Amino acid sequence: MEKGPRKRILVTGGAGFIGSHAAVALHEAGYAPVIIDDLRNSRKSAVKGIESLLSVPVEWHRVDCGDAEAMKPVFKQPVHGAIHFAADKAVGESVAHPEKYFDNNVGGTARFVAQLRNHGVQHLVFSSSCTVYGEAEELPVSEDAPILPAASPYGYTKQACEDLLRITHAAAEGQLGISILRYFNPIGAHPSAHLGELPLGPPPNLVPYLLQAVAGNSGPLIVFGDNYPTPDGTCIRDYLHVCDLAEAHVAALRWLEQHQGALDVFNLGTGRGTSVKEVITAFHLATGLDVPHKIGDRRPGDVTAIYADAAKADEVLGWRTTRSLEDCLRDAWRWQQRLQDTPS
């Protein structure tokens, strides 16, 4: 990183789970993360967590990134790039309120990207998801796999955002470079326990729910079906550490700096599939604790298995995961214990 003032990188949704970890990785890589978050799905405590971890103040604007008027002060100083995390992501909620998801996820992205173009920002990293693949026919799934019907309105919004970005990239004629990152299943927490996934509302995902069950804050973990056509009957996913994922955003930004005006898409995963039962076993290996659980019915919308062909991010971005599943679960449990010790 060359010397001189740190380059400002807007991080929308920067008080969220992945956004806050990305803000830390950006600072550690020599950039100045600028948190843009209206706290509709996050808490100010995450910004404090970033500052206590870095021991420096972090620039933060409590605004909706899609509100161009409210965003004007953000652009008063030069903006070098942006990472767009801000979105609604609860799959179940998207089924009940698809219009909210399209307005915020797709409309919000369009309104934010228009601002970037108006202010001559040249680098955009976009938070997409493996959910765009639907029920992938071939595993591991690579970036050139067909985009099949999504399993939820949430998935459709990510597909629509990717189309929006490709069309906008062409219209910008090289003035806006975009890297689209398709996350598999991010889990874990920063090993310092200053950052982690805040359980806002009922935890919709496996690991947050597993942690609540182990902590005794909820009933046993319900395993959503053990009669799938997989070795142990439970669904298979590609779980990666949130810190690995955060570091991939720095690699994607560096790639854009070296390839002005480029557009490309990358899977971010370990390349390995792990079943629900294997996660439960790994948690015991990592912590010595058992996960109270029982088998329940399948969850509508679940795909049987999906995991990444992770070769392209390695070859093009020079990024790969380095932390193990046990590292993820150990760090997640440490964060859960910190949450238990510090009542909100």
Catalytic residues, by residue number, are: 154
CB of 52 to ligand WQD, least distance (A): 27
What is the pattern of x (binds ligand WQD, CB under 6 A) and - over residues 111-130? ------------------x-
User: Residue with CB nearest ligand WQD?
Assistant: 235
Q: Is 131 in the site for ligand WQD (CB under 6 A)?
A: yes
Nearest-angstrom CA–CA distance, 329 and 44? 25
Q: DSSP labels for 253-321?
A: HHHHHHSTT-EEEEEES-S--EEHHHHHHHHHHHHS----EEEEPPPTT--SB--B--HHIIIII----
Joined together, the tokens standing for residue 218 give 């909820």
Nearest-angstrom CA–CA distance, 272 and 236? 9
* The one among 10, 74, 176, 276 contacting ligand WQD by CB under 6 A: 276
Contact status, residue 22 vs residue 246, Cβ threshold 8 Å: yes
What is the pattern of x (binds ligand WQD, CB under 6 A) and - over residues 221-250? xxxx----------x-x-------------
CB of 318 to ligand WQD, least distance (A): 24
Stretch that binds ligand WQD, among 9-17, 48-56, 202-210, 241-249 (CB under 6 A): 202-210
What is the pattern of x (binds ligand WQD, CB under 6 A) and - over residues 155-194? ----------------------------x-x---------
Q: How many residues bind ligand WQD (CB under 6 A)?
A: 19
Contact status, residue 211 vs residue 333, Cβ threshold 8 Å: yes
Contact status, residue 94 vs residue 101, Cβ threshold 8 Å: yes
* The one among 45, 175, 192, 205 contacting ligand WQD by CB under 6 A: 205
* Helix (H), strand (E) at residue 59: strand 59-61
Q: Is residue 273 classed exposed, middle or buried when 0-12, 13-18 and 19+ CB atoms within 10 A define those classes?
A: buried
Q: Which of residues 293-312 bind ligand WQD (CB under 6 A)?
A: 299, 302
CB of 126 to ligand WQD, least distance (A): 12
Q: Coil, helix or strand for 147?
A: coil
Residues that bind ligand WQD in the complex, under the rule CB under 6 A: 89, 91, 129, 131, 183, 185, 204-206, 209, 221-224, 235, 237, 276, 299, 302
